[in-house]
Amino acid sequence: MCRWMAWLGQPIPIEELLFKSPHGIVDQSLHARMGAEPTNGDGFGLGWYGSGAGPALYHSVAPAWADPNLRELASHIESPLFMVHVRAAIGSPVQQTNCHPFRDGDWLFVHNGYIADFHLLRRELMLAIDPDRFADVSGSTDTEVVFHVALTLGLKEDPIGAMERTIGLIEATASRLGIANPVQGSFGISDGDSLWAVRYASDGKPRSLFASADPESIRRLHPENERFRRLTADDRVIVSEPFSDLPGVWHEIPPSTAVTVRRGGVLESQPFEPATTSVGA
């Protein structure tokens, strides 16, 4: 299990959501409430867009709650679009190359969940990766392989469609090998401009995923809240689990659903259906 969050909106100091929000993602690294496990201490990653070309990555093998560099970066970097992922390793090594977000050019990718029996599927799925990309897989997680399969199947042209083809391919491969319910999780994707999130599990019961309500509604519901008063119409957060229990602030994204967040606070929702594909070994 893992937890992740993504912000798209006005440029804010990253610490606002990491350390200054009640039950923010760093707190979730130690005390997650909705996940399979409360502890996500097997490294973490921060990816952000801002100064310099493309997104920047900070990957650490320390638990997020205990990494002094994370506090430094979070309080000295502002960004209009960033993603944070805290990891529970379930078996694979704790190393920077296994930390999310994964990156390719301008694109970032995070995942909460797993590919079942990945050791049985790994070879087949790696063969579905464009041979020119094969050597780019530098860690040993299921997620990085999923990312490269998705890139092979057109992630940069059609993010949600490519994810439907990727998960379709995984399910077809798993089926061939007799593995039930291979896909579990939520996925977050960005190109620096928009944000996409997918909530899906082969067994119909995916990990939790939430989007913040539109800021106007949030402010109307909680007029006394200082923090909410600073929100603009542009601001949206996607999270594995809500930062707070305030009613009306978070909307659950339903299972088998993909959402697209665009600048200006636009949030669009659509059904997510794995597609059959002819690509493969």
Quote the CA–CA distance of 29 and 254 in Å, as a whole number.
Answer: 24
CA dihedral 83→189→259→234, nearest 10 degrees, is 50
Quote the CA–CA distance of 162 and 144 in Å, as a whole number.
Answer: 15
State the minimum distance, in angstroms, from the CB of residue 116 to a second copy: 13
Sign, CA dihedral 45-207-147-118, equals: positive
Dmax (CA) for the chain in angstroms is 58
DSSP SS3 for 98: helix
* 110-142: burial string, b at 16+ Cβ within 10 Å, e else: bbbbbbbbbeebeebbeebbeeeeeeebebbbb
- Residue 51 found at the interface with a second copy (CB under 8 A): yes
| Complex with a second copy: residue 48 or 200, whichever CB lies closer | 48
Q: How many C-alpha atoms does 272 have within 13 Å on its Cβ side? A: 31
Q: Which of residues 28-47 bind a second copy (CB under 8 A)?
A: 30, 38-39, 41-42
State the minimum distance, in angstroms, from the CB of residue 151 to a second copy: 15
Closest CA to 236 of 225, 251, 246: 251
Q: Which of residues 107-146 bind a second copy (CB under 8 A)?
A: 118-120, 122-123, 126-127, 131, 134-135, 137-140
In the 8-state DSSP scheme, what is residue 64? G
Candidate list 78, 104, 106, 191; residue touching a second copy; CB under 8 A:
78
- Continuous segment of H or E residues that includes residue 147: helix 142-152
Candidate list 6, 17, 25, 77; residue touching a second copy; CB under 8 A:
77
Number of residues that bind a second copy (CB under 8 A): 49
Q: Which stretch binds a second copy (CB under 8 A): 72-80, 213-221, 223-231, 268-276?
A: 72-80
State the minimum distance, in angstroms, from the CB of residue 60 to a second copy: 8
- Residue 58 found at the interface with a second copy (CB under 8 A): yes
State the minimum distance, in angstroms, from the CB of residue 254 to a second copy: 32
State the minimum distance, in angstroms, from the CB of residue 118 to a second copy: 7
| Complex with a second copy: residue 14 or 213, whichever CB lies closer | 14
| Complex with a second copy: residue 36 or 62, whichever CB lies closer | 62
State the minimum distance, in angstroms, from the CB of residue 69 to a second copy: 5
State the minimum distance, in angstroms, from the CB of residue 219 to a second copy: 26
* 33-58: burial string, b at 16+ Cβ within 10 Å, e else: ebbeeebbbbbbbbbbbeeeeebbbb
- Chain contacts with a second copy (rule: CB under 8 A): 13, 30, 38-39, 41-42, 48, 50-53, 56-63, 66, 68-69, 72-73, 75-78, 89, 92-97, 118-120, 122-123, 126-127, 131, 134-135, 137-140
